[in-house]
Amino acid sequence: MTDENILIVQADSAETSLGWASLGGRRWRCTLGAGGVREDKVEGDAATPAGEFPLRRLYFRNDRLVLPKVALPARPINEHDGWCDDPRAPTYNRLVHIPNDWGHEKMWREDGLYDLVVVVGYNDDPPEGEWGSAIFLHVAREDYAPTRGCVAFAQADLLELLPLLTRETRLRVLAHPADEDAKPSAEDDKTKLLEDFDEKDW
């Protein structure tokens, strides 16, 4: 798989949910989970899971927007769509019809965050334990407020990104923030000291 098929997401720093997503030489501003990026995500921690995941399908509000041509399977959201977030349920981390007896969140929202939703293949093959559910790419709030674990974009940016996503595209969420890439390692520091050494210092 080439990097052109990998949507790479990385937070700016450990102190912010803001980050960048890049695919095929293009990049878009995004926001991640309020709980940071974690390799040991659990239900309810508001963290975005680190790792590499497939993209399953797209749900959208056809009463609010016109969907561009996309390669992912897509269907409109209706008022009875929900997503189960109850680890005890046999439908955990699945689309469900509401009302039902298990904990869930509504997909039909007034705030517009789920006008576009790409389902990330996290803890869904099959869903297990309490490792988390409802990990999506979706629309961000205007102020890019942190999510509950998803990766969110401005609606215009998500509409621009959607046609680039295929069944082969994978989401790669990096565990370390971008500012750590810029920090020299202990080995780099040691090399720099050797480079700066001058025999005249003896």
Confidence of residue 77 (pLDDT cuts 50, 70, 90): very high
At 4 the pLDDT is 77
Q: How confident is the model at residue 1 (pLDDT cuts 50, 70, 90)?
A: very low
Question: Can you list the domains of the chain with their CATH numbers?
Answer: 3-201 (2.40.440.10)
User: pLDDT tens digit string along 134-153?
Assistant: 999 999 999 999 999 999 99
Say if residue 114's pLDDT is above 60.
yes
In 3-state terms, what secondary structure has residue 192?
helix
- What mean pLDDT comes out for the span 50-73? 97
Counting other chains too, the contacts that 157-161 makes at CB distance below 8 Å and 24 or more residues apart are 157/28, 157/29, 157/30, 158/28, 158/116, 159/65, 159/68, 159/116, 160/28, 161/7, 161/21, 161/23, 161/28, 161/137
The predicted model scores a pTM of 0.89
Taking residues 150-170, report their average pLDDT. 98
pLDDT digits (tens, 9 = 90+) for 49-59: 999 999 999 99
Asked if residue 200 has pLDDT above 70, the reply is: no
Mean per-residue pLDDT, 125-132:
94
